[in-house]
Chain A
Amino acid sequence: EAQVTQNPRYLITVTGKKLTVTCSQNMNHEYMSWYRQDPGLGLRQIYYSMNVEVTDKGDVPEGYKVSRKEKRNFPLILESPSPNQTSLYFCASSLRVGWARGTKNIQYFGAGTRLSVL
Chain B
Amino acid sequence: DAKTTQPPSMDCAEGRAANLPCNHSTISGNEYVYWYRQIHSQGPQYIIHGLKNNETNEMASLIITEDRKSSTLILPHATLRDTAVYYCIVRGADSWGKLQFGAGTQVVVTP
Contact = CB atoms under 8 A, between A and B. Distances in A.
Contacts of A111: 42-43
Contacts, number: 61
A43 interface: yes
A48 B101 contact: no
B43 A110 contact: yes
Contacts of B101: 42-43
A106 interface: yes
A105 B41 contact: no
B93 A112 contact: no
Given A42-B101, A42-B102, A112-B41, A99 B46 contact: no
Contacts of A4: 43
A42 B103 contact: yes
Interface residues of A, number: 31
A33 interface: yes
B24 interface: no
A114 interface: yes
A47 to B, nearest CB: 11
Interface in B51-102: 91, 93-99, 101-102
Interface of B: 30, 32, 34, 41-46, 49, 91, 93-99, 101-103
